Structure 1
Amino acid sequence: MNLPNKLTILRVIMIPFFVAALLYDGGANQNMRYVAAALFIIASLTDMLDGKIARKYNLVTNFGKFMDPLADKLLVCSALICMIELRELPAWMVIIIISREFIISGFRLVASDNGVVIAASYWGKFKTTFQMIGVVLLIFNIPALSTLTTIIVWIALALTVISLVDYIVKNAGVLTEGKM
């Protein structure tokens, strides 16, 4: 159990505390929203940090390859589902984002069965960055930033669809008799 894997586990452990803080008092308590934002930001930073440490010090493990993207998806999806509960995002938008995650995970599973690793694309990394920024802005819920928040959320949604199409086009061979 190396440091990057511990950071990944920490991220997963933080999720219920983040959700509890965000949904406390129906999301009406601004101080708890600040706590939720801090937890989300720290968890998001561990996502960036664990990967850098793993690559820099050659600490990449099978556990990390499996758990790191799963922890990332759990964190972001938990936040987005909470935003539906708080009536700050429409369900259809969250369904599109979560569906993309399931589709890409399925592609990766099929590819893995054929000995192929599908690396994260730049589109996927941009998507994750905009989703995380959008979530933080939604958590803070600052009226003066509502237009910026809306723009960031729409960009995140567009990048979600673009990155899905990119993965499908680049990796269509995974679904046709395991050819790449």
Structure 2
Amino acid sequence: MTGTASDRPSNLNIPNALTVLRIVLVPVFGWMLLAHAHEGGWRTATTLVFVAAILTDFVDGRIARKYNLVTNFGKIWDSVADKALTGMAFIGLSILGELPWWMTVLILLREWGITIMRVFMLKYEVMAANKGGKLKTATQALAIILFCLGLWRTPLLVDVLAWTVMIVAFLLTVVTGAVYVVDAVRIRRQARGSGAS
């Protein structure tokens, strides 16, 4: 027995408000990163803004699950907010010449390609983020934080750590993208199979 519309949580809730806040912080973060790229104090402040924004991603999901506030709006727009924030970071770092464009382009193709695919898959099933996707997001966030601090002002050890984490994040991005595609194909086949029976 499925729940009625009145049983479903309202879209006007704290987790969704945090998701919207994360979207609002994207242009703020982008401006701070690009306008004051080589000013130490600004880079630190820019990093703190990114940390605050990305923390809303981890907080909103926990609140939504704990208090049964999971909504279809949250499932889709939470992912869009993540992609917008991390995408702005990757593009900004590439504009500054701190991250190669080929890496940014491949990451963005995967991120937005999977997001668009998930939107099209709504007619079959809502594809929420899986554990691999969450690990990918966390690893990307850590890599971006390390890069946002400014590798030109950090010790060599931090530089090596930042690049190591970024490479791991890149590999996780590619692998989890492939997993989403396989899952989408399976869901579509099952939906078409059940419709034909």
State the TM-score, normalizing by the size of structure 1: 0.91
2:178 alignment partner in structure 1:
165
**How far 1:175 moved relative to its partner?**
5.7
1:152 alignment partner in structure 2:
165
1:46 alignment partner in structure 2:
56
Q: Percent identity?
A: 38
1:87 alignment partner in structure 2:
97
Distance 1:172 1:6 in 2: 32
2:137 alignment partner in structure 1:
128
1:117 alignment partner in structure 2:
126
Distance 1:174 1:123 in 2: 18
Structure 1 contact 23–82 (Cα < 8 Å) conserved:
yes
2-11 or 31-40, larger mean C-alpha shift: 2-11
Structure 2 contact 107–170 (Cα < 8 Å) conserved:
yes
Distance 1:167 1:179 in 2: 18
Amino acid at match of 2:69: L
Specify which of 144, 147, 150 is matched with residue 138 of structure 1.
Answer: 147
Distance 1:86 1:125 in 2: 27
- Of structures 1 and 2, the larger Rg is shown by 2
Question: Cα deviation per residue 1:108-145 (whole Å; 9 max; x = unaligned)?
Answer: 1232112x122322221111111100000000122431
Q: Which runs of 5+ in 1 are unaligned?
A: none
Report the 3-state secondary structure (helix = DSSP H, G, I; strand = E; otherwise coil) of the residue aligned with 1:120. coil
Aligned residues: 178
- Identify if the C-alpha distance between structure 1 residues 117 and 100 changes in structure 2 by more than 3 Å, giving closer, same or farther: same
Specify which of 30, 48, 60 is matched with residue 19 of structure 1.
Answer: 30
Specify which of 3, 15, 20 is matched with residue 14 of structure 2.
Answer: 3
2:39 alignment partner in structure 1:
29
Question: Cα deviation per residue 1:1-22 (whole Å; 9 max; x = unaligned)?
Answer: 2111111111111112111211
1:100 alignment partner in structure 2:
110
Report the 3-state secondary structure (helix = DSSP H, G, I; strand = E; otherwise coil) of the residue aligned with 2:97. coil
**How far 1:65 moved relative to its partner?**
2.3
Distance 1:5 1:133 in 2: 23
Amino acid at match of 1:49: V
Amino acid at match of 1:135: I
State the TM-score, normalizing by the size of structure 2: 0.84
**How far 1:176 moved relative to its partner?**
5.5
